[in-house]
Amino acid sequence: MITRSPKRAMEYGAGILAAIVVAGGVYLYLRPTQNSRMDVRTHHAMVPAAFSRTAPARVEQVTGNARQALGRGVPRGMVYVPAGWFWMGCGLKNGCGGDEKPYHRVYLDAYFIDKNDVTVDEYGQCVSTGGCMEPPRVEGCNYGVKGRGDHPINCVFWDQANTYCRWAGKRLPTEAQWEKAARGTDGRIYPWGNKFSPHNSCNSLSPYSQRHHTCAVGSHPKDKSPYGVMDMAGNVYNWCSDWYDANYYADSPDHDPQGPDKGTYHVLRGGSWLNCNPTYLRWSSRSNNAVPTYWFDDNGFRCVRRATR
C-alpha cells in the first residue's frame, strides 16, 4: 500500500485541480458555438468534396424483392436505378475539365431510365400519331433511312426530345440521373472500368472502325453501365433536361439536383460515334452543350421515369 504525507497529498490534489481547470478552459475555447459551426460548414464548402465527404457504397443490386417493393415490375425497355448516393464529377488528379469539379456526392431518388437510346422506330411511332415532329431527312440523319430502324434517332433538337419523352409518359433525365445511370456509385471513368479501349463503344477512335454513322443500339456489349444501361460512352450524345452552367457543381444541392433555373445552353452528355478523343467519352465529361435549337447527326436522347412505391 502506498502512503503519502499530508503535505504531499495537498500538492497532489492541487495538481489534479489545476489539470481539470486547464482542460476545462481548453474545452471552452475549442467548443463550437453556433457561429463557429457556420465557419466549419463554410470551410468544408471550400474543400474539394472528394476529401470532405464519405465514399458511397457499392452499386445496389436489383433483386426480385427490390422490384416487388416498387409495387410493379420495371417498365419494358427500361432499367431500374435504386435510390442512394453516388460520386458525380471528375475525381482524376489530371485531365478534368474545369466544369467537372468539384468531385462530389449526390443522392438521387429511385428512377427508371431507358436501357437504350430512343430508336428511329420508336420515335417514328410518335410521329405517326402526330405527337412529334419529323427530324430532318439529310445525309447523316437516321430518320427515314432504310435499315436504321434500330439505330438511335438523331438530328433532334432539345424540344423534340422533350416532347417525345412526355408523349411516352416520361421525361428527359437530369444531368445527375444520366451520370448515375452511366457510372454507378464507384466513380468509374468508363463503362468497363478506368482504362480506355477504343473498341468498346461506337466511336471513331478505332483505326479499323471506318465509322461513318451510328450503330444499332446495344451492339457494343462492353459499353454497358453497372446498371445495364447501354451506349452511354458512344453512339449519340444524350440531351438532358438541365440548363448548363460551368460552375453549377460548386453550389448544387446534394439531393436530386435539377440544374440551374435558366440558361442559354442545354446539357448533352455521353459520347458519340463521331468522337475521336477519349476525354469526351468519359462519363463525367460536360464538354458538349448546345442551344436548344441545335441538332446534328451525333445527338439523340433517352428518357427517365420516376420509380414510385
Q: Residue 113: beta bridge partners?
A: 79, 304
Question: Among 9-13, 45-49, 293-297, 298-302, which stretch is predicted with the lowest mean pLDDT?
Answer: 45-49
Q: Describe the strand order of the beta sheet including 299-300 as a list of residue ranges.
A: 288-290, 266-269, 237-243, 299-300
For residue 270, is pLDDT > 80? yes
pLDDT score for 87? 93
Cis peptide leading into residue 102 (ω within 30°)? yes
For residue 174, is pLDDT > 50? yes
Give the max Cα distance, the chain. Answer: 106
Q: Whole-angstrom Cα distance, residue 98 to residue 93?
A: 12
- pLDDT tens digits along 208-263: 555 688 999 999 999 999 999 999 999 999 999 999 999 999 999 999 999 999 99
H helix intervals, the chain: 6-30, 34-46, 49-52, 64-69, 120-128, 158-167, 175-183, 248-251
**Residue-wise burial string across 33-54, b where 16 or more C-beta atoms lie within 10 A, e elsewhere:** eeeeeeeeeeeeeeeebbeebe
pLDDT score for 30? 33
Domains defined for the chain, CATH in brackets: 56-309 (3.90.1580.10)
- Cell (9 digits) for 68: 416487388
For residue 28, is pLDDT > 60? no
Question: Among 16-30, 63-77, 197-211, 264-278, which stretch is predicted with the lowest mean pLDDT?
Answer: 16-30
Helix (H, G, I), strand (E, B) or coil at 56: coil
Residue closest to 242 by CA, chosen among 215, 222, 262: 262
CA atoms 273, 183, 197, 288: torsion sign = positive
